[in-house]
Structure 1
Amino acid sequence: MKFKIAIAVVVAGLTLSACTSDNADQAVAQGGTFEFISPGGQTVIEYPAEERKPLQDFSGESLLEEGRTISLSDFKDEIVVLNSWGQWCAPCRSESDDLQRVQEELDKRGTGTILGINVRDYNPDISRDFVKDNGITYPSIYDPPFKTAAALGGVPTSVVPTTIVLDKQHRPAAVLLKETTDKELLEIIDKLEQE
């Protein structure tokens, strides 16, 4: 019995010590919710054109069109906004209207698309219902284990949602490790259209 108590005390002590660190300010609570802050405090990372490297092509099963494969190369010479999302993710649900507005603007301009990557949703029917119920028209790859992340090389993908804006050569120009807005994305896209 004393051994079990000693083990419990050690485990409790380790747990408490794990919750304190010199980096405690890297994750902060604001308004009663958890907000991710990446190392260095960056949640938006922009890459100058001269530092960008193209991604390798990747493909995956379409969420909405069974039997169809979607590839990055399907969007040759287009700006592509990659967005990892899950219907279970509150920030993903919140930003879906903004992403749809960006898709509608890209459709008008004829310069690109949003390409969703549906992650950690192991029942595709629930994800399909979310897409249909919210009037989302952009394509999504169904990728529960997020294997697509391997094709993204060293681009940070540590949180969901993550949004990666690719230039027309499919080089990462910006990474947003947070919920995004249509205004924020369109500002980035406007710059890329001028390149």
Structure 2
Amino acid sequence: MRRRVRAAAVPAGAGLAVAALLLLTGAWTDHGGAPAGGAGGAGAPVRTTVRAAAGATVVDRDAREETPALAGEDLDGKQVSLAGFRGQVVVLNVWGSWCAPCRAEADDLERLSRQTRDEGVRFLGINTRDRDRAAAQSFVRAHGLSFPSLHDPTGELLLRFPPAVLNPQAMPSTLVIDRRGRIAVAIGGAVTAEQLRPLLARVVEEG
């Protein structure tokens, strides 16, 4: 059975996460030749087609992998878990108050969060490398963020993902998680509402 991962073109500015999804699905680029490590046969890995284009990478429904369990305190000390959003589409955004591209995208993310809430979309942040919650809380106030963010000062939550899915050194990063808790879209780098909205709509429309 062939599993397909397709890359969806979006305007320049959203990073390409092809390597992330190759690792995520155990895939490699299919150029028409034999997969690395052999020509197939019994016991050979399932082959996956990857078509790269400028923009974000969208994973077909039959090729998606589960998101690691994420739970902990938000910036106000309240308990938050990704599992609590199951049944809804989730935009998971990794950010830090020290990160200039994170500041650039924050207002757009908040606007899109408000616009899509009635569509069954929820936003969840992971605030990383802010050991002082006060700096992160100031960031939230400055941008009027209404969605919660898990406080992950040491990056422990990020380390639950394969490094190529969420690189702890690359900020910001954004994932769209489908209603079954699986990663459907991966974006590396800052993203605008205009870039993210059509990618998010694909997952919302799956029902």
TM class by shorter chain equals 0.7 to 0.9
Q: CA deviation at 1:57?
A: 2.2
Structure 1: stretches of 5+ with no match in the other structure: 1-34
Contact 2:17/2:56 (8 A) holds in 1: no
**What is the distance in 2 between the residues matched to 1:57 and 1:38?**
21
Secondary structure in structure 1 of the residue aligned to 2:137 = helix
- The letter for the 1-side match of 2:153 is P
Secondary structure in structure 1 of the residue aligned to 2:194 = helix
Q: How many residue pairs align between the two structures?
A: 158
Q: CA deviation at 1:38?
A: 6.5
Per the alignment, residue 115 of structure 2 pairs with 105
Secondary structure in structure 2 of the residue aligned to 1:147 = coil
- Residues 1:52 and 2:39 are matched in the alignment: no
Q: CA deviation at 1:37?
A: 7.1
* Length-normalised TM-score, structure 1: 0.74
**What is the distance in 1 between the residues matched to 2:17 and 2:118?**
34
Q: Tell me how large the CA RMSD over aligned residues is.
A: 2.2
Residue of structure 2 aligned with 1:140, choices 149, 168, 172? 149
Secondary structure in structure 1 of the residue aligned to 2:157 = helix
Select the structure that is richer in helix: 1
Contact 2:16/2:56 (8 A) holds in 1: no
**Greater mean alpha carbon deviation, residues 35-44 or residues 137-146:** 35-44
- For residues 119-130 of structure 1, the aligned pairs below 5 Å read 119-130=128-139
**Greater mean alpha carbon deviation, residues 78-87 or residues 99-108:** 99-108
- Residues 1:131 and 2:143 are matched in the alignment: no
Per the alignment, residue 94 of structure 1 pairs with 104
* Length-normalised TM-score, structure 2: 0.70
Residue of structure 1 aligned with 2:73, choices 56, 61, 67? 61
Overall identity of the aligned pairs, in % = 29
Secondary structure in structure 1 of the residue aligned to 2:180 = coil
Which of these two proteins has the greater Rg computed from alpha carbons?
1
Q: CA deviation at 1:155?
A: 5.6
Per the alignment, residue 157 of structure 1 pairs with 166
Contact 1:56/1:151 (8 A) holds in 2: yes
Contact 1:43/1:177 (8 A) holds in 2: no
**What is the distance in 1 between the residues matched to 2:186 and 2:15?**
14
Secondary structure in structure 1 of the residue aligned to 2:80 = strand
Residue of structure 1 aligned with 2:93, choices 65, 83, 87? 83
- The letter for the 1-side match of 2:138 is D
Contact 1:55/1:151 (8 A) holds in 2: no
- The letter for the 2-side match of 1:102 is L
CA 154–133 in structure 1, closer or farther in 2 if over 3 Å, else same: closer
CA 186–43 in structure 1, closer or farther in 2 if over 3 Å, else same: closer
**What is the distance in 2 between the residues matched to 1:105 and 1:167?**
18
**What is the distance in 1 between the residues matched to 2:68 and 2:16?**
28
